[in-house]
Amino acid sequence: MAFLAAALLLAASMTAAALSLAGVMSAFAAGPGDAIAAQNAAGAADGGGAEAGVEAAGGESAEEAGEAAEAATDGEAADSGAGTSAEEAADAAADAAAAEKAAQALSDNVLRYDELQDAVHNGNPSVAAALKNYNDRLDTYLDAMNAAVFEQWNAGTERHNARDNKDKASADSWDREYEIYKSSAAMYRRMYENMTDYASQRSLRQVERQMTVAAQSLMISYESLRHQRDTLKKETDLRRRQRELAETKRAAGLVPDTAVLEAEASLLSAESRLSTAEDNLRSVYRNLCYMVGRPDDGSLVIEELPVPDPGRVSEMNLEADTWKAIGNNTTLINQRRQNGGSSTKKTAVRLRTNAEGEQKLTAKMASLYEAVFQKQQEYSSAKTAWEKAQETKRIADLKASAGLTGAEDQLTAEMDFASAEASFKAAELAFLQALDTYDWAVTGIVSLD
């Protein structure tokens, strides 16, 4: 669990998953049905909308006006649809094909680094819980609006009947009821629509991104541990051969008993470190499976991470990226939105707090920017060292095959190569993580502490 905690530190506090506005509004249109049409028809009496049309028609029911409004809307939609270009249709088809391809990729038993955000969106328990809570709130507002719209329609019908019966007292009473329910329906509709705007869904997008950052950190930890395990397997094998060589030399009287004991101790140490690495690898695997909502029974294959692209460094612009980060950072957004009061003193405090937050983030971005270049340099140096180790090992192998070098020298060359390879892989992962951490900071996912 220590690895999960470390990964989650990169993700800051938990919030929820993103729904697109188009998707939400599509659900909205499908959900309320005639009730929304009736609400459109009812409108505000002083707004000159469909309710004014109801009154002008001499008490026509809200339901009839709703049907007329709905028919008019359908007509407008048809006109709009007629103007849809072939290019837009092609784009929609391409988007659908891409979505289907992504869904197929997620349905297999291979977890890829570039699929993590989609995997988190579809399977992470925290994201699912936050999205459920969000949808439950939408349903609550929608149900309340539907109920108010129905009561509004009922009051309008009763008012119409009372007027037909020349019952002014009842008509006035139902008119008051009508206005009350109309106001309630409008209020719940505003609440619903406010929840579906871009700003209101920020927290949903935020948690998905934060959980993705945590999942990326876990996947990098998994890859690092996998390389560590493989290196320790090689070392364990080499240490075992080294002990066997020491035993052979001792039998020939070439080395004392202490040489065998030292070789045995080195072997036991390598075996212990290998066992620890395997335990840690299993722990991270379980946590990673949990993050993407998959069973940890070993069926999910974790694909090797991509090689970091140095070209991403040339696309970085610290000044521009810092401004983007300031605009996207949730902590700063919340600070800017806080109501500090109307007094000059409170306003000054709020402005000072905002300025301090921006200064912290500016310094943070500069630090992350420098870290990218530092990790890139370390990656380049480790790569050069590994390439040199490969050549050294190649020469050692040739000498060994020609009988020009002893077994001990061959073991030393193999261990040096394994060490250089491990250093290179570690530097590669550190460079990739530095790039991703910087990019996430630009989108607002970074702590100011």
**Do the domain assignments include residue 4?**
no
271's tokens: 């075996």
- Regarding whether 267 and 400 lie in a shared domain, the answer is no
- Regarding whether 282 and 425 lie in a shared domain, the answer is no
- Regarding whether 233 and 270 lie in a shared domain, the answer is yes
- Regarding whether 289 and 161 lie in a shared domain, the answer is no
User: What is the domain count for the chain?
Assistant: 3
pLDDT, residue 229, reads 93
- Regarding whether 255 and 374 lie in a shared domain, the answer is no
**CB of 419 closer than 8 Å to CB of 239:** no
- Regarding whether 145 and 26 lie in a shared domain, the answer is yes
- Regarding whether 335 and 188 lie in a shared domain, the answer is no
**Do the domain assignments include residue 303?**
no
**CB of 378 closer than 8 Å to CB of 425:** no
pLDDT, residue 415, reads 82
**Do the domain assignments include residue 179?**
yes
188's tokens: 């719940």
Q: Which domain holds residue 250?
A: 206-298
- Regarding whether 404 and 338 lie in a shared domain, the answer is yes
The residue among 162, 179, 200 that closes a domain is 200
CA distance 390 to 398: 12
Q: How far is CA 341 from the centre of its chain?
A: 35
- Output phi, psi for 343, to 5 deg: -70, 155
- Regarding whether 269 and 376 lie in a shared domain, the answer is no
**Do the domain assignments include residue 267?**
yes
**Do the domain assignments include residue 214?**
yes
How many CA atoms, within 13 angstroms, populate the side-chain half-sphere of residue 406? Answer: 5
- Regarding whether 187 and 232 lie in a shared domain, the answer is no
Other CB atoms within 10 Å distance of the CB of residue 416:
14
Strand blocks (E) in 289-347: 301-302
pLDDT, residue 137, reads 85
Place of tokens 């061959």: 410
CA distance 145 to 325: 38
Other CB atoms within 10 Å distance of the CB of residue 34:
16
Residues sharing a CB contact under 8 Å with residue 192, sequence separation 6 or more, in sequence order: 28, 138, 141, 142, 145
pLDDT, residue 67, reads 38
- Regarding whether 374 and 447 lie in a shared domain, the answer is yes
Is the pTM higher than 0.85? The answer reads no
Residues of the chain whose pLDDT is less than 70?
A: 1-107, 198-200, 338-343, 346
